[in-house]
Structure formats: structure tokens, C-alpha cells
């Protein structure tokens, strides 16, 4: 990749830069060292954070040197949000989250070779600074007028609760991080989301004032849906990269269910395929949108990238099996369990099966029909299935032979008609 900035712009990833021409010249003129930071405010990174990780990967592929910062210090504070003050987490919690996020990020980058990535923690250079030294050496270079103008700070000052000094001072910490990384490792570029622009430029200004040097900042646009709602959210909550928080099946379904208006843009941002190949896929999709080629490519690329090919294949096999074009028995218990848990379901313990839970009870209890009477009519009309096998009697009980193993129990897939799915989930006593 000879012009990585142009590629980022063509994918609609790059938003603002401190000096576009100077940054382009620096990126095209040889290897530079850059950093991107992640605050451990949760036990996992999410889809919005993945944008930054993939920007780092693209820059590394173009011959630049990544420093990935997980903020053990800034994570104790939290950057100001528009919505209000953050809850401060215990130090032990933050330390645990630092390690989890480090291990997640490490999978996406190369830590060997001429452009090896490095993981850093800003607690290493922040923990021993006294308040007096910090105010004299860092705070002296920040204008309160300029700090008040930052978007998040200005919004919070207008709110009823205002903003604490703790969060107001966050931009000093992030600015100091850039200065430290510039001194220690020669970092000359910081990247981050466009909502972080004020924090990004605080480091650029601090280095200019203290070191009398010019460095760069680049923001990436915030990914949103075509209707303006927040990207990376589902009815069940945030889409996380940790498989214990968002299963690989649910992760792949998030991409498969992308709206036609959103999916092409997501593919440009999240797929590592060359841009000309992506544009060819989008062109095919626009000619035959009903085939959902972009959504399928997106789901396969990103699920494989985040969870590996085996988990991606299992997630696609689960989707096929749920609708009768695959074999449920070939799914591993974890994938099957997460797939069925995402459906309307009736959860019982094993005593309910022993007591004789009927087909009608199961269908009505799962919510895929309104009543036992509706269940009986579905069976009579030939439109009721258990594990993709047609049911002929609504009053017979479910049997152990119909239950497939899942983590923590067993389950059966219910289907009414062609596409209305539900499940009975039997938990171990």
C-alpha cells in the first residue's frame, strides 16, 4: 500500500488531520511510529474500537510502527462523555480489564519483524508523578480557555450536573501520553475517533510547546447507521469482541442483518480486502441485492478476523441449520446454545421434560405462537417443526431424544412455518 492515507480516505475512514499534506508526506516518506489508545472502561473492546485497531493494522501493513496503548491510568479517570459523569471503577477492576483488552488487541497486529507492534500502559509513566510536578510540567502549558472549548466539555458545562475537575483534566493526561511516547519511542502520529479530536490535538499542542516540534493527529469518522442511530448496538446491547459477551454466532448475525444502506460502507471500513475487490462486490450486490452478497462477505470477513475461521464456519453452519438447510447435530454445543438463546425461548429445568412438556406447551411457552390453540392449529396445518422435523401431534410430550446438547444443558429448535423460530432450553438441575 503506497498511499495509506488515500486508502483510508477512499474507505471513508479518515476524518480530520492536523495537516493533511504534511501527514501524507510523512506516511509516504518512510516508516513512522504512531499510537492509538484504549481506555479499559469495560472488560472488552467493542465494534467502534475495532475501527481503531484496523486503522493500526492498515498502517502497519503500509510499513509503519504501531504502539497500542491500554490506559491503566486514564482508565481510572475516563474521558468526558456528552451524557454525563462516568462511574469510577476500582483499581483492581481496571487492572483486570487492561490485561483482557491487551490480549484482544494483540491478535490483530504483528509483534515481530521490522515494523513490530508494541503494547504500552500509561500507568507506567503516570503513577509516580506528583500532583505538583504534573501541574508545573504539564498543566502550565494548557490554556483553560482552550480546554473549555472542547466539544464534550462545552456540552457538559451546559448540562445541569456540569463536569467534575477529574474529567475536565483528562485531556491533560492524554496530552502527556503523547509527549511521553514521543520522547520514549519517537511517536509522531496519534489516531483516534473523531469524538476524541480535542484530546488528540492536546498532545500535538503540548509537544509543540515543550519540544518545539511538529507532530500529527488523525481522527476517524464515527460509524453510524443510515438512519442516524448508533452503530454497534442491537436490541440485546453492545456488540463486543469478547465471545463470552457476544457469541460468535450473534456477532456474525449482527453483520448478516446489516441494512442494505449500511452494509457497503461497513465492508469498506471493516474488511481488509483491497478496495477494488470490495467495490466489485458492492457492484454485484447492487445488481442483485436480494442475494445479500455484501452482508455475507462482511459477516464472513469480520467474524473470521475476530473469532477465527473455525468459529466463523460454525456460526454460518448454525444459521443454515436453524432454517433447515444444515444439520443441527453437527454444531458444537457452544454455538448451538448461543444460536438458540438468541431466539424466543422457553427455559425450563429437566423436571419439566420428565413431567411431560407437550409440543403445544413448548410452542406456546416459547412465544412463537400466542396460545396452545394456535400451536395445535399450526401442527394440524403441517406448519410445526421440532429440529426441522415436522410434528404431527401437538399433545405428545417432548422426549430426551429430541434434545440436543448445549453448554449447561440441552435444547430443541422450534419452527412455525418457514421462518418463525424459537427454542426450548433445558438447563441442568
Enumerate the known binding-site residues for L-tyrosine. Answer: 35, 170, 174
Contact residues for 110 (Cβ-Cβ < 8 A; gap 6+): 60, 116, 117
Four-CA torsion 334, 335, 338, 341, nearest 10 degrees: -100
- Spatial contact of 298 and 258, defined as CB atoms under 8 Å apart: yes
Altogether, the residues listed in the chain come to a count of 429
Q: Which residues define the annotated binding site for ATP? A: 233
DSSP-assigned letter for residue 222: P
**Residues 415, 420, 423: CA angle, nearest 5 degrees:** 50
How do 118-120 and 14-17 pair as beta strands?
unpaired
Q: Which three cell numbers stand for residue 216?
A: 500529527
Q: How far is CA 39 from CA 2, 72, 101, in A?
A: 31, 7, 9
Please give the Cα distance from 125 to 243 (Å, whole number): 32
Please give the Cα distance from 192 to 174 (Å, whole number): 12
Please give the Cα distance from 386 to 412 (Å, whole number): 7
Q: Which residues define the annotated binding site? A: 35, 170, 174, 233
Q: In angstroms, how far apart are the furthest CA atoms of the chain?
A: 82
DSSP-assigned letter for residue 241: S
Amino acid at each position: 500500500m503506497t498511499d495509506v492515507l488515500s486508502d483510508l480516505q477512499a474507505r471513508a475512514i479518515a476524518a480530520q488531520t492536523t495537516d493533511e499534506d504534511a501527514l501524507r508526506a510523512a506516511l509516504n516518506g518512510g516508516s513512522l511510529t504512531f499510537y492509538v489508545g484504549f481506555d479499559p472502561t469495560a472488560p472488552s473492546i467493542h465494534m467502534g474500537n475495532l475501527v481503531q485497531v484496523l486503522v493500526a493494522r492498515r498502517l502497519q501493513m503500509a510499513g509503519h510502527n504501531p504502539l497500542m496503548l491500554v490506559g491503566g491510568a486514564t482508565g481510572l479517570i475516563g474521558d468526558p462523555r456528552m451524557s454525563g459523569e462516568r462511574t469510577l471503577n476500582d483499581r483492581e477492576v481496571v487492572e483486570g480489564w487492561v490485561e483482557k483488552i491487551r490480549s484482544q488487541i494483540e491478535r490483530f497486529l504483528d509483534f515481530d519483524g521490522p515494523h513490530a507492534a508494541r503494547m504500552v500502559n500509561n500507568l507506567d509513566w503516570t503513577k509516580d508523578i506528583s500532583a505538583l510536578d504534573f501541574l508545573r510540567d504539564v498543566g502550565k502549558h494548557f490554556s483553560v480557555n482552550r480546554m473549555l472549548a472542547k466539544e464534550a466539555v462545552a456540552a457538559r458545562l451546559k448540562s445541569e450536573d456540569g463536569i467534575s475537575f477529574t474529567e475536565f483534566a483528562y485531556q491533560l493526561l492524554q496530552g502527556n501520553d503523547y509527549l511521553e511516547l514521543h520522547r520514549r519511542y519517537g511517536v509522531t502520529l496519534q489516531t483516534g475517533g473523531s469524538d476524541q479530536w480535542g484530546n488528540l490535538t492536546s498532545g500535538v499542542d503540548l509537544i509543540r510547546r515543550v519540544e518545539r516540534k511538529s507532530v500529527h493527529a488523525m481522527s476517524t469518522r464515527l460509524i453510524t447507521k443510515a438512519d442516524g442511530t448508533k452503530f454497534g448496538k442491537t436490541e440485546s446491547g453492545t456488540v463486543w469482541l469478547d465471545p463470552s459477551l457476544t457469541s460468535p454466532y450473534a456477532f456474525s448475525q449482527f453483520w448478516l442483518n446489516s441494512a442494505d444502506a449500511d452494509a457497503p460502507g461497513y465492508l469498506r471500513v471493516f474488511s481488509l480486502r483491497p478496495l477494488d475487490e470490495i467495490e466489485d462486490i458492492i457492484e454485484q450486490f447492487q445488481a442483485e441485492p436480494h442475494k445479500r452478497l455484501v452482508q455475507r462477505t462482511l459477516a464472513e470477513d469480520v467474524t473470521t478476523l475476530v473469532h477465527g475461521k473455525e468459529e466463523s464456519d460454525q456460526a454460518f453452519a448454525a444459521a443454515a441449520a436453524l432454517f433447515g438447510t444444515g444439520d443441527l447435530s453437527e454444531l458444537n454445543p457452544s454455538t448451538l446454545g448461543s444460536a438458540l438463546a438468541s431466539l424466543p425461548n422457553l427455559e425450563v429445568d429437566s423436571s419439566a421434560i420428565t413431567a411431560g412438556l407437550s409440543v403445544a406447551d413448548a410452542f406456546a411457552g416459547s412465544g412463537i405462537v400466542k396460545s396452545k390453540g394456535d400451536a395445535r392449529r399450526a401442527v394440524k396445518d403441517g406448519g410445526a417443526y421440532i429440529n426441522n422435523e415436522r410434528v404431527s401431534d401437538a399433545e405428545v410430550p417432548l422426549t430426551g431424544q429430541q434434545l440436543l446438547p448445549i453448554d449447561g444443558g440441552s435444547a430443541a429448535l422450534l419452527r412455525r412455518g418457514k421462518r418463525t423460530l424459537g427454542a426450548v432450553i433445558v438447563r441442568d438441575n
